[in-house]
Structure 1
């Protein structure tokens, strides 16, 4: 087995670990610095299963989908090399016809509450929610990422109703057939507040979207009311996976 083939499953397993946003950005930066083979394989893995850690990277990713094939350019700074890695496509000797737009098969974004005491302000601050809306609307409007099949949304330290009001899901690209939702709470979230949010899970009265193209639904950490409402918004689900979930950082 050559080094390229052996690295793919290793990097893929590491890339899919439940990393924090800071850890994932560190992984991305580091992978651009190891060596050219490592960077090439990481580029393939990260373009296939895309994680959006920030608003800036979301913009960069969209630019990347529209980019023409280029080669990796060398630069001195680690952040610049990271951007070079993602601006480029996979090196020609690995897979000459692969492009970022065609490579993307799954997309994951984490929506984190910036205020672990939302009662103070009366609402939760979810800046990455707006990033998700803009990203989905752009993908749909420009018919990008035709091979994208799974959208994973990781909610951290939030309630359970945001997903139903997320306007970007009204523009969910039709090629996405698997919606994966994960709810968790960090150690910074007071236990009493976690329990309060769990108890407040009730059937929704209004829904901002319907996703008839979704045939597979995965839900982790949510109660029956949330799952029932999700099945209402995704009426053609054929496969439902659910897990209780756990408190995690």
Structure 2
């Protein structure tokens, strides 16, 4: 009886599979568990997965931030000879790291056991890790290939980033910034909507990120986006999920040429377009006269009559309205 052989998978295919698994949206706990599990399969998997994980770095909890800092040359030099895992990871993160995603999970329960939103904390280790890691990367010129920094807040209010100056020191090589706010329990959604109405503008931000060219935001009020526009004076592309009240953003910085409006997986009707309030936005000179602005809408199928009317209206102000189909899951 012949022994069945295990089918051989080319390393390139296996790395692609691992890359797609790593890219799947996951909770902080799920991602931390996945990382630990994949590192324990065997040496080949470890080598391939490290390439994936060090190329697109995720920091699901403060302990991962500490481990990442151990891989930076200044820290590593003070720790003596590294083991095989650490030495390989050090080399890969320095050569390959192109994106870094911080997961800031409020995830707390109030004394009654109900889900809650964390509004403010000077000492919480998760958001503090953002400042610490970005400071080290920026100050010592680490990660030369880093282009994208993402902050994913879950069950948090909107002021931590500004009040605690989380992005005051930002890697100059990173040109893309993503800010994503989500709420884990349906019971929190009404409170999140209420928090949006309470958001107060920060008229004089205490820091600036002039190197950011592409800003993507999700789950935030329009006033939050307006504050970020002040912080990113060199912005060229602004991307928003489920947008509303675009007049709050007018006028955009002169450098902005493209606004992307994402309403994924949803057939776009007249009412949704109405909530963009494009009339007030255009009359408020949303784009600089010399910008030749462009609005790209990524959504399900739009209402043809409403779309034609909106496209014609934008053209009156010298703005191109472009449609791109997006059937992905709603934000």
TM-score exceeds 0.5: yes
Deviation larger for 213-222 or 58-67: 58-67
Q: 1:200 aligns with which of 198, 201, 212?
A: 198
Q: Is the 8 A contact 1:116 1:188 kept in 2?
A: no
Conserved in 1, the CA contact under 8 Å of 2:119 and 2:159? Answer: no
Matched residues, number: 227
Question: Residue 64 of structure 2 is aligned with which of 57, 65, 68?
Answer: 57
Which residue is equivalent to 2:325? none
Aligned partner of 1:184 in structure 2 is 182
Larger Rg: 2
Root-mean-square deviation (Å) = 3.0
Gaps of 5+ in 1: 74-83, 91-96
The alpha-carbon deviation at position 117 of structure 1 amounts to 5.6
Asked whether 1:100 is paired with 2:93, we answer yes
Deviation at 1:224, TM superposition (A): 1.4
Cα distance in 2 for residues equivalent to 1:191 and 1:98: 43
Alignment of 1:36-51 (within 5 A): 36-51=43-58
- Distance in 1 (alpha carbons) for counterparts of 2:224 and 2:38: 38
Structure 2 unaligned runs (5+)?
1-7, 243-262, 265-329
Counting only pairs closer than 5 Å after superposition, residues 126-205 of structure 1 correspond to structure 2 as 126-187=124-185, 190-205=188-203
Does 1:124 pair with 2:126? no
Once residues 187 and 105 of structure 2 are traced to their aligned partners in structure 1, the CA distance between those partners, rounded to angstroms, is 11
Q: CA deviation at 1:168?
A: 3.8
Distance 1:46 1:110, change over 3 A: same
How far the C-alpha of 1:3 sits from its partner, in A, is 1.5
- CA offset digits 1:69-88 (Å, max 9, x no partner): x9975xxxxxxxxxx3xx14
For the Cα contact (< 8 Å) 1:167–1:208, is it kept in 2? yes
Distance in 1 (CA, whole Å) between partners of 2:178 and 2:217 is 6
Give 3-state SS (helix, strand or coil) of 1:171's partner: coil
Over 3 Å counting, the alpha-carbon distance change for 1:138 and 1:21 in structure 2 is same
Higher relative contact order (CA 8 A, sep 6+): 1
SS at 1:170's partner residue? coil
Deviation per CA, 1:51-70: give whole Å up to 9, x if none.
112222212111213248x9
**1:203-225 alpha-carbon deviations (Å, 9 max, x no partner):** 22342321000011111111211
